[in-house]
Amino acid sequence: MLAKLDDFELVRVVQGETANNISDLRTIRGIRVVDSRNIVELNIPGSLGNVLQDMGREPVTILIFGEFAGPDAKASLESLMSKYISDNNKPMQFSSDMTTAIPEITKVMLVQFQFEEIAGHSNSYRYYMKLVEYREPRPQQEEKAPEQDVESDLEKESEIDDIRGQVLDSEDSPLVGVKVKIKGPDKESEVNTDEQGYYEILDVGEGKYEVTTDEESYEEEKEVVEVKKGENKESETEP
């Protein structure tokens, strides 16, 4: 059996000075793999049924129960313990040929570690550790609007302008409900003045426009307004 956490072998047999003596015996007594999927239940408005959506599997959890024995067992235990202390919250390489483990797992986090000395057996220890599959975070991508769309929007905005103004009488009082007409190269429109005598005609293209009104005192008067890109033209008309 092969099981390795970074450069530390979890399964190993090292002979001692004599043929019948083992200085370092590392074994795995049990392994448990916890694998689950994230299923979300979506309710359908106006329906008694629902839809289950598979959001993918959760990170796999591997629980390992092992033993160390022999004169070098304590040193092996301390070496593994040091990895938990120093490398906590850091991913470690993981390799194993255990059939119960998922083959594609190559990196794990050592999130829990416990050990105990086996009573009545010198230089013998049991340990338990919890490994969680580590997945590389996806790089964040900045959302950028297509340059072509931005340019076209700006160009469109610059080509559209407004004509606004105010109609006053001879005493500079606003005239309410007066009909104002404009006539230009690509647009003819009319609008009534509001309670303050103001009028506004939107979305006017570039060019010269003739502004007239149906107010009797303005019958013979015409005002020419020239609209340029990016400019709003205001006119103040009085008899």
Residues 221-238 pLDDT 10s: 778 777 776 555 555 555
The pLDDT of residue 126 is above 80: yes
Residues 70-96 pLDDT 10s: 999 999 999 988 888 875 568 888 888
Q: Which CATH class is domain 3-133?
A: mainly beta
Hey, where are the domains in the chain?
Answer: 3-133, 157-234
Q: Which CATH number is associated with domain 157-234?
A: 2.60.40.10
Q: Contact 209/165 with Cβ under 8 angstroms?
A: no
More confident residue, 137 or 81: 81
How much of the chain, in percent, has pLDDT values that exceed 90? 17
Q: Contact 60/35 with Cβ under 8 angstroms?
A: yes
157-234: same fold as 3-133?
A: no
Please, which pLDDT band fits residue 180 given cuts at 50, 70 and 90?
Answer: confident
pTM for this prediction: 0.51
Q: In what order do the strands lie in the sheet with 3-5?
A: 8-9, 3-5, 92-96, 107-117, 124-133, 61-69, 22-34, 12-15
